[in-house]
Amino acid sequence: MRTTGSDSSGRGAGGGAPVRRCGTMAVHRRLMAESAAYRATRAQIEERTRGYLAGRDAQQLPDVAHVPVVVHVVSAADEQDVSDEQVTSQIEVLDRDFRGANPDVSILPPAFAPLVADSRVEFSLAPTDPAGASTTGITRTRTTVASFTVDDAVKRASTGGVDAWPADRYLNIWVCQLAGGLLGYAQFPGGPADTDGVVVTHTAFGTTGTATPPFHLGRTATHEVGHFLNLFHIWGDDGTGCDGTDEVDDTPDQAGENTGVPRFPHVTCDNGPDGDLFYDYMDYSDDQVLVLFTHGQAARVQACLADVRSSLMQPAPAATPRPTAPVPVQREPEVPAAPSPGPGTGSDTAAGVTGRWLHAFEEDHGDVTVYRPAGADLPRARGRRGIEFTQNGSFTEWAVGRGDAPQPLPGRWRRVNAQRLQVSTGRGEERVLEVVQLTPDRLEARWSTAP
């Protein structure tokens, strides 16, 4: 794929700083040229996506989608062989980025802050392989191939790579040495099953080990998994014109990709005063700049998961702690396994509040805030706030946004003791939630400022 001002090594003209290179559109155009079946399937997927988005009042899956991942590490030398810790760090980045819970979202200028969305999808390494045996979700293959390209050779054992696990049950991610400065590529939904998935070069994978600045924060995989879930580049892949589209209404038009660390505002295509949304994961900026998916992009992701990728969605994995990997931006709090809560207040109820809760303000009493589960039969109200806790430590405060639409404010949470959680909110506050009472259909809580 073309990269403005770069040579084939992925470095700026004259040997300057490396710039992002993605091969997804090269793969897409090859398949469009070679396969009538792919052309027809892609047209059908886009037609169904438009129908899904037009026919729903709330662009949201009823529950958070959980996608099992297998990471195929293919290396020609020890220095390419990424560690389990590096793999884990990448899965954690995917979780935060797709839930809008990444702490570096704070770099956004106020004009773009309302665009931050929760795509309501989480990722975990697969606990079982295609035969049903226990697995770490990581395979390792030593190859004689020095480097790979967008020809999908890394996806076949016969050409020096490793075959995919069933694409209808796993998100396959291949990690290898890619040639010519290429950081990664993906296959859009609708392509051949045996090559379906994402490829990332090992120096742009995860946040530790071989990950190398400026692509050392895991955002290459976030970008490529975005393609896998049917997101396009934000500028619409029309060169430097202003006529391309990413099929998303809330991303501004822009004249080509942004690279490096742009300065806000960068105005193109008459998109002032705020200019290009170069903070978006589907642009080409350096990892430290990319921090959000928009509401329109999140809706497309959910449309994809509700349709062509629906077979990937699995029940939430068991609440066992993941290994903690270094996060360069900010170390996340450890979240212990959540036991099954008992009703009332006699058990470890604080760890059992995972899920989405709506504020039943009609039932508040004294200093106690009352919540009901999402989907509960509550009186009609003009906007209803809520809270959501996930087992991986993500917290979302559901505020009332423009047009009374739910607006997610991502944060983090950790268990303090059997009755209390500490919450880092999207507003930059540290608060404590004390569980007063918890039953399957009611949460009573007392909020206070963290000491």
Residues tagged active-site:
224
d(CA 71, CA 221): 11
d(CA 8, CA 376): 56
Helices 295-306 & 36-54, crossing angle to 10 degrees?
120
Assign residue 366 a region (left: φ > 0; alpha: ψ between -120 and 50; beta: otherwise).
left
Contacts 24+ apart (CB under 8 A), 144-147: 144/76, 145/76, 146/76, 146/177, 147/76, 147/176, 147/177, 147/178, 147/179
Please count the CA atoms within 13 angstroms of the CA of 77 that sit on its side-chain side: 5
By the 10 Å C-beta count (0-12 exposed, 13-18 middle, 19+ buried), 288 is classed as middle
d(CA 210, CA 80): 7
End-to-end CA gap in the chain: 51
Cis peptide leading into residue 214 (ω within 30°): yes
451: closest CA among 427, 426, 420? 420
* Helix residue ranges, H only, 55-200: 84-99
Chain centroid, CA 212 distance in Å: 21
Assign residue 303 a region (left: φ > 0; alpha: ψ between -120 and 50; beta: otherwise).
alpha
> What's the length of the chain?
451
Confirm if 221 and 94 have CB atoms less than 8 A apart.
yes
d(CA 7, CA 181): 9
Please count the CA atoms within 13 angstroms of the CA of 23 that sit on its side-chain side: 24
SS3 305: helix
Confirm if 410 and 105 have CB atoms less than 8 A apart.
yes
DSSP-assigned letters across all residues of 144-176: S-S-B-TTSGGG-GGGTS-PPPPTTT-EEEEEE
